[in-house]
Amino acid sequence: LLLKNLVELDQKHFIHPTSSIQQQQQEGPAFIFEKGDGIYLTDTKGDTYIDAMSALWNVNIGHGRTELAEVAKDQMENLAFSSAFSTFSHEPAILLAEKIASIAPDSLNAVFFTSGGSESNDTSFKLARHYWKVKGEPKRRKIISRKKAYHGVAAASTSATGIPQFWDMAGTFTPDFVHAETPYEKSTAEAIDSMRQVIEQEGPETIAAFIAEPVQGAGGVIIPPNDYFQEIRKLCDEYDILFIADEIITGFGRTGEMFGVENWEVEPDLMTFAKGVTSGYLPFGGVIVSDEIHETLKEKSTGTLFHGFTYSGHPTASAVALKNIEIIENEKLRENARHMGERLLKGFQRIKADANIVGEVRTLGLLGAIELVKDPATNERFPADWKVAANAIQALYDQGVICRPVTFDSTDIICFAPPLIINEAQVDTLVARVHDAVLAVEKEIG
Ligand code: PLP
C-alpha cells in the first residue's frame, strides 16, 4: 500500500494506545515501521533509526531474531494452542515454569501465566488478597504503591499506577489503593517515612501488599538509592505486608541482573513479569510466587482458583519465551547490559559536560535517563509550555534515534532502554547522536 493510503487508513480506523486522538487525526502516525534488525528499526520511507527504547522497553534480544520465528513456527505446526485450564497442561508451559523458577530468587518457585503486564499486576493483587483470606485476615485488601509508578491499565493496575492522569480516564480508580512517596529527589529515609505514615494511617491490618518497580520506568527511569529496597523489605516484614516486585521492565537482564531486585539482594514475595520474557515477540507475562503463597493456593478449603485467562501459558508464547531466555543466558546479555550501561553513562556524562541544559544523568544496566533543566546548578526546571522534552525527542528523531520523553510533574526527562545486544560502537554512535540532539535543543532555546 502507498504510504499516503496507510496514513489515511491509520487516521480513520486505528485507535492507538496512550495517544492523543486529536493529534493523530491532524498529523497521522509519526512513523510506520516495517522492518526491525538488531537495534535498528526502518520505516516505510526507508529511514533507519536506532531503537533506543527496545520498542516499549521490551525487545531485549533485539529485532529480527530468526531463532524465535523458527521456534514459533515449529510450535505452531505441532500444537499452536491448547489450554492450561484446570487439569490440562502442555510441555512448553511446564518447561517454562520450571525455567523461570530456576532463575528467580530462591523462595519463588511457582508461576501463574498471563498475556501481559497489566494482567500480571492485577493477578498479583488478587493472589495477595487471596493469601490473606486463606490466612484468616480477609480485611487485608489494600495495596500500597508509589507516586510516579506505572503498573498498567487494567482496572486494578490503573489504580496502582501513581500517575493520576491514568485514573481520570472513565473514572477508573478503584477503592483500596493508596500511594506513598517514591525516592525521587528524596532520601531513602524520607521515602520510607512516607510509607510508614501511609501504613499507620490506613491501618496495617488492612494492607495486603506493597508493589514497586525496582527501577520506575514510565515515571522517568528512577533508580532508587542503594539501601532503599532493603529498607522496604524490612518495613514490609515489620508490618507483615507482602512485597510485590513489578519486574515487567526490569526483568530478563535489563538492569544487568536477571531481575531488578537482585541489584540489592532483596527477595520479594511475588514478582510480576511480561515484556522481556519473550522480548515482545509474542504477548506474554506472569506472576512468580513464594513457596508460602503457593502453599496457600493449594489449601483445600479455598476450592477452585477462580482466576485464569484463555492465554495463560499459551504454548507458542511459552516456547518463544524459553528460547528467548536461552538466548539471554547464552549470549551473556545480562553482563552486556551492565557493561554497555556503564559505557552509556560515561557518554551521558560527556554530554552533560558539553551542554548547559543537562541535569542528572543515570543508568542501571541498559535503563537510562537524561534530565533537561534550565539551570543544572540549582536543578531549576523549564516552564512546561516550553515543551523541552518533546522538542528533544523531535531532535533525536532528526538524528535517527527513537527515545521516549517524560514530561509530567514538570520534568523534562529523556528515557533510554536500548536492546541488550547493543555493542560498544553502537553505544558510541547513540551517544554522539544524543549529544548533537541535546546541543541542537540548547541552541534553539537560546
Ligand atoms: N508494569 C510496568 C512497570 C510497565 O512498564 C508496564 C508497561 O509498560 C506494565 C506494568 C503494563 O504492561 P502491559 O502494557 O503489558 O499491560
Whole-prediction pTM? 0.97
Q: Report domain extents, the chain.
A: 31-61+332-445, 67-330
User: Which residue puts its alpha carbon closest to atom 1 of ligand 1?
Assistant: 151
Q: What is the pLDDT of residue 95?
A: 98
Comparing CA positions, the residue from 343, 302, 317 lying closest to residue 126 is: 302
Evaluate whether 31-61+332-445 and 67-330 have a shared fold. no
- 31-61+332-445 under CATH 3.90.1150.10, yes or no: yes
- C-alpha–C-alpha distance, residues 130 and 132, integer Å: 5
Residues of the chain under the 70 pLDDT cut: 1, 24, 301
SS3 call for 81: coil
CA of 139 relative to ligand 1 center, distance in Å: 28
Q: What is the pLDDT of residue 27?
A: 82
CA 102 → CA 60, 76, 107, 214, 326, distances in Å? Answer: 20, 26, 10, 20, 13
Q: What is the pLDDT of residue 35?
A: 98
CA of 355 relative to ligand 1 center, distance in Å: 33
Q: What radius of gyration, in Å, describes the C-alpha atoms of the chain?
A: 22
CA of 282 relative to ligand 1 center, distance in Å: 15
Instruction: Please spell the DSSP secondary structure of 365-421, one letter per residue.
Output: TTEEEEEE-SBTTTTBPPPGGG-HHHHHHHHHHHTTEE-EEE-STT--EEEE---TT
What digits encode the pLDDT tens for the residues 130-163? 999 999 999 999 999 999 999 999 999 999 999 9
Q: What is the pLDDT of residue 298?
A: 85
| Beta strand pairing call for 285-290 and 108-114 | antiparallel
Nearest-atom number in ligand 1 for the CA of 250 is 3
Q: ipTM, 2 decimals?
A: 0.99
For 403, the grid coordinates are 527515545
Q: What is the pLDDT of residue 431?
A: 98
CA of 77 relative to ligand 1 center, distance in Å: 30
Nearest-atom number in ligand 1 for the CA of 154 is 16
Ligand 1 proximal residues by C-beta, below 6 Å:
56, 116-118, 121, 150-152, 213, 217-218, 246, 248-249, 274
Q: What is the CATH number of domain 67-330?
A: 3.40.640.10
